[in-house]
Amino acid sequence: MTTLWERFKFAVATDLDAVVAKKEEKNPLALLNRYITEAENQTTATGKWVERQSQLNGKLEKELAEASAMLDKRQNQLELAQASGESDLADFAAMEVQAYSDRVKTLQQNLDENIAELTGLEHRYEEMKHKVKDMKVKQLQLMGKENATRAHHQMDKVLSPELVAERIGSFDDMASYITTLGAKVEERHERSAMERRLESLEKNSANHKEIV
């Protein structure tokens, strides 16, 4: 029963997501707002991974410094033990020198690889931030077009009320009017306004002929 309920909830959620996505496709500004929100979240998450990579490099550098210091110390002790004729101490020191030498080599290799990874991550992280900025500029551009569309609508109410009355009569009509945004919004507005005026002129001319 629980499984069936979970499937039902998933199906409902999927349908709702599809409806929201379909509506957003008709509104460039709403769609861009969603992209910006997602991009900002992803950029923030990426910034944390970049910071973590930098912290890991710091830890590797600390381990490398400690291992290098111990390597120098054991090398000096090896030389001292050999000069003193302490063969057992010399053997132990030689084993330690080999162990720290291998550790230094491994840590240096890991550090070099991590630094290269960090450099690549930082470059891509900066690209992400620039991309978000570019989308925000586009957002302002579309907001300007939306504002201009609303302004045209209000001006049409005063300047050409006879043209607006038939076309704009409800909130849904207004919402549909606003969503006609994009690269050619101004051209589309001017063309549709001219078309409506021509239709009105044609209608008035026909009525005039009937009266005559």
Closest CA to 21 of 9, 10, 30: 30
Tokens describing residue 50: 């970049």
Query: Can you give the pLDDT at residue 155?
Result: 78
Helix (H, G, I), strand (E, B) or coil at 180: coil
Contact between residue 29 and residue 146 where contact means Cβ atoms under 8 Å apart: yes
Contact between residue 177 and residue 153 where contact means Cβ atoms under 8 Å apart: yes
Query: Quick one: CA dihedral 198, 200, 203, 204, positive or negative?
Result: negative
Q: What is 15-62 written as a DSSP string? A: HHHHHHHHHHHT-HHHHHHHHHHHHHHHHHHHHHHHHHHHHHHHHHHH
Helix (H, G, I), strand (E, B) or coil at 166: helix
What's the start-to-end Cα distance of the chain, in Å? 77
Closest CA to 93 of 75, 107, 111: 75
Segment holding 1, helix H or strand E? none
Query: Can you give the pLDDT at residue 173?
Result: 53
Query: Can you give the pLDDT at residue 12?
Result: 47
Q: Which amino acid type is present at position 199?
A: E
Tokens describing residue 168: 């704009």
Query: Can you give the pLDDT at residue 132?
Result: 87
Question: Which residue bears the tokens 């069936």?
Answer: 4
Cα distances from 166 to residues 160, 170, 195, in angstroms, run 11, 10, 14
pLDDT by residue for the chain (212 residues), tens only, comes to 455 555 545 554 555 455 545 554 567 778 888 888 888 888 888 889 889 999 999 999 999 999 999 999 999 999 998 988 888 999 999 999 999 999 999 999 999 999 999 999 899 889 888 988 888 888 888 888 888 877 877 777 777 665 555 554 444 555 555 555 554 555 555 555 566 667 777 777 776 666 65
Q: Which domain holds residue 76?
A: 2-211
Count up the domains in the chain and report the number.
1
Query: Can you give the pLDDT at residue 112?
Result: 94
Dihedral angle over CA of 16, 17, 18, 19, nearest 10: 50
